[in-house]
A and B are shown apart, each in its own frame.
Chain A
Amino acid sequence: MGTDSKAVRTPASASRVGPAMGQFLGTLRETSIGLVVPGLFILVWWIAVAAGVFPEAVLPSPLAVGRALVEWAFGARDAGPYSGTLIDGIAASGQRVLVGYSIASILGVLIGVPTGFFPLVGKLLDPLIHLLRPIPVTAWVPLSLIFFGFGFKGAVFLVAFGSFFPIVVNTIEGVRGANRMLVKVGGMLGASKFELLRSFILPASLPAIFVGLRLGIGLAWVLVIVAELMSVKAGIGYTLLDAYSFNRYDVVIAAMIMLGLMGFFSDRIIVGIQRVLLRWHQEVSIHAE
């Protein structure tokens, strides 16, 4: 009897914190664990600079980079050349990524779906896609300069062209895989070709399409920087190159951090859309584990 009442009391006292609070603390703990290694990295960097392993002129301290970042973003009293230009840089690079990546996504899905679904279209387009794909997109820079010039259009072309391939290839594979799985069910349920595509194959291939979209956005950021390093005279990539040629390594590192953040957040946006559209897929993959 005595043990019974004890057994009841124990969980009650353990959950004194309350479930919502407990969950919050759990999330906080996990987040702080995630920050340990990056924190150590910055600490080692700081110590290395303070101890003079690298001269300040070559590797600025984290503090100097932070200051450069703030100045770049908000301007400063002793206004340098980069002061307050961050937002313009983000706008310039972001616009190129947005336009180029949108073109790549639309074309990738529009071309990928019929290529994966109709055997004849697949036979016609597969060879071209697989011949063009191994050419590094950077090798297209000279042609892009000739055709689209040194400005917005050239950068958009590179971004669109480069991020098109992972999107189209994953769409094709996704549609083919879904077709293999669902063609029997669709046939048995009496679906026409169009219905098979619309109600069975397209929803089933969305997870693969999103893999392509995520690979594509990563490449889009790589390529906008390539374009800005090589030709275009604006944007975060351009600031990076410019700061390098004026030995402003604090700005160089600040630009690298910004690029990392922009890439990270654009990926999060796509993952967010995916979460909403593909609830079933996350649950299914969790189920399978």
Chain B
Amino acid sequence: MQNNVIVSCEHLMRSFTSKDMGINHVLREINLQLNQGDFVVLIGPSGCGKSTLLNIIAGFDKPTGGTVMVRGAPVRGPGPDKAMVFQDYALLPWLNARENVEIGLRLQGVGTRERRCIADEFLRLVGLGHAAERPVYKLSGGMQQRVSIARALALKPTVLLMDEPFGALDAFQRAIMHKELVQIWKTTNASIIFVTHSLEEALFLGNRVVAMTPGAVGLTGEISIDLPRPRDPMSLEFTALKRKLFDMITAHIPDRTETFVE
């Protein structure tokens, strides 16, 4: 049972102090557990702390209280076991697609031939087998994000963290990426934490959707989604869940939110 736990956050706190605004408690008493193979979506309005939580799990930020563990070991800093897919892709524009996927492997000490093999395998997985030699600046936004996903997966991470990865894509590209991400999740059995503020995205992707609201103590709520995949966002069950999730979040937003975006 214990072996199944990938990420566990206990009594997590994060507050920011600024001169003019005083102390802003972004995260208070957050308890979250991610099991092997989970696809957890964190959703909430701006300022709810979902990105802060993701950054803490990734090791980019430190909590002011509580503990974060990945595979039972406390998080001390960023590393390839906690691979992140960034909203702005964060690729290295002077390298081609394959080199972007390879660079993480090179830093892990993987040999030249092996890392080329692994890079090509993951580029194929995200549908970019044909574009390995293309400089990334010549790729479209959707393709760049695929490279970024391939780069993260090639690290064989314990947990895959995704910070609004499809926010910059148009609705049609986003729909395609959603289907492919679900496919990738199934084939790789990855454990994913995905941050978004889109209800539809959350309900389409996650098997658990966790809601957060600004200024709240603890998480606002969680919905387990058992809808069969591929899910149809136009279906009645989907729409009903969307209503439920929307109400859950809005019921907890104070009328005059004094919190501010991180």
Contacts and interface: CB of A to CB of B under 8 A. Distances in A.
- The A interface, classified by DSSP as helix, strand, loop or mixed, is helix
A281 B93 contact: yes
A204 B137 CA distance: 13
A88 interface: no
Given A184-B78, A189-B107, A283 B90 contact: no
B90 A181 contact: yes
Interface string B97-128: 00000011001100000000000000000000
Nearest to A192: B107
Nearest to B58: A188
Interface stretch (A100-108, A148-156, A195-203): A195-203
A260 interface: no
Highest count of chain B CB atoms <10 Å: which of A185, A191, A278, A284? A185
A55 interface: no
Contacts of B227: none
Contacts of B155: 189-190
A287 B144 CA distance: 13
Contacts of B103: 189, 199
A280 B79 contact: no
- The B interface, classified by DSSP as helix, strand, loop or mixed, is loop
B94 A187 contact: no
B86 interface: yes
B99 to A, nearest CB: 10
Given A199-B103, A283-B138, A187 B90 contact: no
Contacts of A230: none
Nearest to B88: A181
A215 interface: no
A87 to B, nearest CB: 40
A182 interface: yes
B106 to A, nearest CB: 8
B153 to A, nearest CB: 13
Highest count of chain B CB atoms <10 Å: which of A189, A283, A284, A287? A189
Contacts, number: 59
A280 B59 CA distance: 30
Contacts of A279: 135
Contacts of B108: 190
B60 interface: yes
A284 B137 CA distance: 6
B93 A188 contact: no
Contacts of B92: 182, 185, 200, 203-204
B79 A188 contact: yes
Contacts of A184: 58, 60, 78, 84, 86, 90
B82 interface: yes
Given A184-B78, A283-B137, A287-B137, A190 B94 contact: no
A187 B79 CA distance: 6
B44 interface: no
A285 to B, nearest CB: 10
B90 A280 contact: no
A185 B83 CA distance: 9
Nearest to A200: B92
Contacts of A182: 90, 92
B82 A188 contact: yes
A184 to B, nearest CB: 5
A204 B103 CA distance: 15
8 contacts: A185-B90, A189-B103, A189-B107, A195-B107, A199-B103, A200-B92, A280-B94, A283-B137
